[in-house]
Structure 1
Amino acid sequence: MDKRSKIALYGIGGIILLLMIAEVAKPKALNWRNSYSAADKIPLGCYVLFNDLKTFTSNPLENSDKSLYETLNNNPDIQNTSLILINDYISVEDEGSDALLKFVENGNTVFISTGSMYGKLADTLNIKIDQNYDGLFKLATKSVFVNKNLKNNERIFDDVIENTFFISIDTTKASVLGYMSDENHSKKEINFIKTPFGENGGTFYIHTNPFAFTNYHLLNDKEDYAASVLSYLPENNSILWDNYYKSGRKVIKSPLRFILTNSALKWSFYISLISLIIFVIFKGKRTQRIIPVVEPLKNSTVEFTQTIGDLYYQHGDYTNIIEKKITYFLEFIRASYYLETNEFSERFIQKLAVKSSNTVQETKSLIDLITFLKSKNNHTENELTALNRQIEHFTKNNL
């Protein structure tokens, strides 16, 4: 890489690094998501309220991350407890509504602050909530109490609001505890009621401005109003904070979460995982690495000899070929039959015939031909053919 390319590369790397630093260092945009979660410190979370509730009562403060049906049905004998539900809308399934109504029938208290509520619970309590569509729900309004002793804690909500109020309540049971009015006090709407339920002193407190309990308003001079609303709850009750029916509820939508939240599936997953690990460990020890097949070296001596012979034959050098065939044949005799080939005597011929399984006549004919050919200086093709034929016939018993 030349010097110019290195400079260009370093320059690009420096620009990328600066962009990364700028991205990390830039201020994060404020999150205005409607959350109402006890864990969220964003403006519309309920972190401040949840932690302040710890000083509201000396009894335990519990946090529920399950549905009302799961929470209340698993604790049917719960007593002296105030359940707090705060969200921009409350939609409880029928089973949860039944569990909640039974919870209040047993003498417990439920506080709900929401801008919209529907379903079986709203039908049972005979309430309907609507919104003020003038000014897109954002007109400044003052939240006041019926109890004049709480007048000093009334507040004007001029931002971060949605003006919702009751348009229908059960007038035979419900008591009005608070209103919302415009700045001129020319019109007021009910926004806080109390509804007794059952024969054991159970009570619903329903409020229509959940924004009043968010971090934003509690840290902007509205904490006295929120405290006055919650002061209607029984002081000696334990508090059960709902963290399930929240717009900002954190849900990890993954198959693994579903498995780990189910006891049977969780243990099946763990057992399968452990079994797989054990299998891999023992399988890895017992199985050898695949041994590659190594092809043996191919013996090309015959092909090489054939090639050389063809070269000699094409050039008509019969003498050279005959000499080499005789030399090779005599070496074959010495190596195979352990006979000396310096002298072709009658004794030699008889021994060679016996050891080679040939007749004495056949053996003598081959030796005489070899003797004759060795005595000549030039040879013909017919002589080469005759020699080759007799050698092949002689060695056929050794193949």
Structure 2
Amino acid sequence: MDKRSKIALYIIGAVIVFMMIAEITKPKALNWRNSYSAADKIPLGCYVLFNELETFSEGDVLVSEKSIYEYLKTEEFSEPKSLIFVNDRINFGKEESKTLMKFVEDGNTVFISSTYFYGNVLDTLNVSVQRQYTNIYRKEADNKFTSPSLQANNRIYKDVIENSFFESIDTLRTTVLGTLTTKNEDEIEETYPNLIKVEVGDNNGQFILHTNPFTFTNYHLLDDKEDYAATVLSYMPKQQIIWDNNYKSGRKVITSPLRYILDNTALKWAFYISMFGLILFVIFRGKRTQRIIPVIKKLDNATVDFTRTIGELYYQHGDFSNIIEKKIQYFLEFVRTIYYLETNQFNSGFIDKLAAKSSNTKEDTKTLVDYIVFLKSKTNHTEQELIELNKKIEHFKRT
């Protein structure tokens, strides 16, 4: 890679690092999406409410992560329960509505706080909900209780609210527990029910319906309006609570691994950097790939092959004397080269020095030298003498 390419890569790397630092250190924007999830600590989540529900529950708070039809069909209760729904929109289908009505007729309580109600349940209860569409600027609304003893817990909601109310109710079995007072488009104050109780069946079952779910968000509970929310919930009987965590605008739905990665800031940046690095690798790798270097086969040692061939030729012709002479010459050259000894005289001094330098015993060394002297004194040799000489030399070198 040349100098210019390296500089370009350094600049690109520095830009990526700078972008990462800027992304990590920049202040996070406040998330104002409607959530109502028990796990969300954002302004419109219900983390605070969920962690305070034990105050109103007889025992641990149960959590439903399924549709109400699936949950109530698989669960059996020996004691009455209170089922809580809090969300900006609530819509029950036909089967869900039937299951919910059966649950209430068995003596249980269902609490629903929502800006928009849909489904067969409202038709069965003869209740209709209306939203104040003219209130696009979310004018303040005075939320009051009808009970004179609870007036201290009334609260005025000035922001982060959508005003909905009950337009019509079944007065024969419905009790108005609270009202909403706000100004219409002509700046005239109007008051409508926004908290009602509808009794169902003969087992003290009831629906408690409320049209201001913003009351139960983290934003308002931490803004000195917790007394109003607590008073609304106090209309439920003291029994074990089931918290719905399925019908939520903020319910987390992961439909693919890629969506999960892109929804997580750290994983998203890791994915982008990996893709960018892969593109750079492909670009530079495609340009700079070196062609394959062929493997050069090592040259054969022709001298060894030649020597082996000549030796086999001598052996086949029975010229053992010539082979013995060559082996003795080769061995003596080995002694001169490795041990730096003169080989002119094979006396006792030569034998002692050779034995010492080669780490062989004096007896073995003397036997080999005497055998060489014996073979040099002869003119004709046998195959057996050649084999014996080879054995002695090999034994000497292995020691």
Scaled by the length of structure 2, what TM-score is found? 0.61
Q: Does 1:203 align with 2:206?
A: yes
Q: Does 1:220 align with 2:223?
A: yes
Deviation readout 1:48-98 (Å, 9 max, x if unpaired): 000001232341210100111111122354532100001111111111111
Q: Does 1:251 align with 2:273?
A: no
* Residue 232 (structure 1) aligns with: 235
Contact 1:79-1:107 at 8 Å conserved across structures: no
Contact 1:131-1:137 at 8 Å conserved across structures: no
* Residue 69 (structure 2) aligns with: 69
Measure, in 2, the Cα distance between the counterparts of 1:226 and 1:73.
30
Deviation readout 1:175-209 (Å, 9 max, x if unpaired): 00000112799321110001100000001100000
* Residue 366 (structure 2) aligns with: none
Measure, in 2, the Cα distance between the counterparts of 1:166 and 1:5.
70
Contact 2:39-2:46 at 8 Å conserved across structures: yes
Measure, in 2, the Cα distance between the counterparts of 1:6 and 1:39.
48
Contact 2:58-2:241 at 8 Å conserved across structures: no
Say what the alpha-carbon RMSD is for the aligned residues: 1.9
Measure, in 2, the Cα distance between the counterparts of 1:33 and 1:155.
23
Measure, in 2, the Cα distance between the counterparts of 1:78 and 1:219.
36
Map 1:287-306 onto structure 2 (within 5 A). Answer: none
Measure, in 2, the Cα distance between the counterparts of 1:6 and 1:98.
70
SS class of match (1:187): strand
* Residue 153 (structure 2) aligns with: 153
* Residue 22 (structure 1) aligns with: 22
Displacement, 1:247? 1.1
Q: How many residue pairs align between the two structures?
A: 254
One-letter code aligned to 1:229? V
Measure, in 2, the Cα distance between the counterparts of 1:40 and 1:176.
32
One-letter code aligned to 2:251? R
Displacement, 1:30? 1.4
SS class of match (1:135): coil
Map 1:1-399 onto structure 2 (within 5 A). Answer: 1-3=1-3, 5-136=5-136, 138-182=138-182, 186-235=189-238, 237-254=239-256
Measure, in 1, the Cα distance between the counterparts of 2:5 and 2:253.
49
| CA shift in 2, pair 1:5/1:118, >3 Å | closer
| CA shift in 2, pair 1:77/1:57, >3 Å | closer
Contact 1:94-1:119 at 8 Å conserved across structures: yes
Measure, in 2, the Cα distance between the counterparts of 1:119 and 1:29.
36
Displacement, 1:253? 2.2
One-letter code aligned to 1:156? I
Measure, in 1, the Cα distance between the counterparts of 2:242 and 2:220.
22
Measure, in 1, the Cα distance between the counterparts of 2:8 and 2:189.
72
| CA shift in 2, pair 1:130/1:246, >3 Å | same
Measure, in 2, the Cα distance between the counterparts of 1:242 and 1:73.
15
* Residue 330 (structure 2) aligns with: none
Displacement, 1:2? 4.8
SS class of match (1:138): coil
Q: Choose 1 or 2 for highest CA Rg.
A: 1
Contact 2:153-2:227 at 8 Å conserved across structures: yes
Measure, in 2, the Cα distance between the counterparts of 1:185 and 1:47.
36
Q: Once superposed, which parts of structure 1, at least 4 consecutive aligned residues long, lie more than 3 Å away? A: 1-9, 183-186
Deviation readout 1:289-330 (Å, 9 max, x if unpaired): xxxxxxxxxxxxxxxxxxxxxxxxxxxxxxxxxxxxxxxxxx
Displacement, 1:41? 1.0
Measure, in 2, the Cα distance between the counterparts of 1:166 and 1:56.
26
Contact 1:137-1:163 at 8 Å conserved across structures: no
SS class of match (1:52): helix
Deviation readout 1:254-292 (Å, 9 max, x if unpaired): 59xxxxxxxxxxxxxxxxxxxxxxxxxxxxxxxxxxxxx
Displacement, 1:148? 1.4
Of all paired residues, the percent bearing the same amino acid is: 56
Measure, in 1, the Cα distance between the counterparts of 2:153 and 2:189.
21
Contact 1:178-1:191 at 8 Å conserved across structures: yes
Measure, in 2, the Cα distance between the counterparts of 1:187 and 1:217.
23
Contact 2:130-2:166 at 8 Å conserved across structures: yes
Contact 2:177-2:196 at 8 Å conserved across structures: yes
Measure, in 1, the Cα distance between the counterparts of 2:208 and 2:75.
22
Displacement, 1:133? 2.1
Contact 1:160-1:211 at 8 Å conserved across structures: yes
One-letter code aligned to 1:224? D
Deviation readout 1:308-364 (Å, 9 max, x if unpaired): xxxxxxxxxxxxxxxxxxxxxxxxxxxxxxxxxxxxxxxxxxxxxxxxxxxxxxxxx
Measure, in 2, the Cα distance between the counterparts of 1:116 and 1:137.
18
Displacement, 1:113? 0.3
One-letter code aligned to 2:250? G
Measure, in 2, the Cα distance between the counterparts of 1:241 and 1:9.
55
Contact 1:79-1:106 at 8 Å conserved across structures: no
Measure, in 2, the Cα distance between the counterparts of 1:249 and 1:196.
30
| CA shift in 2, pair 1:185/1:149, >3 Å | farther
Displacement, 1:9? 3.2
SS class of match (1:136): coil
Displacement, 1:248? 1.1
Displacement, 1:140? 0.5
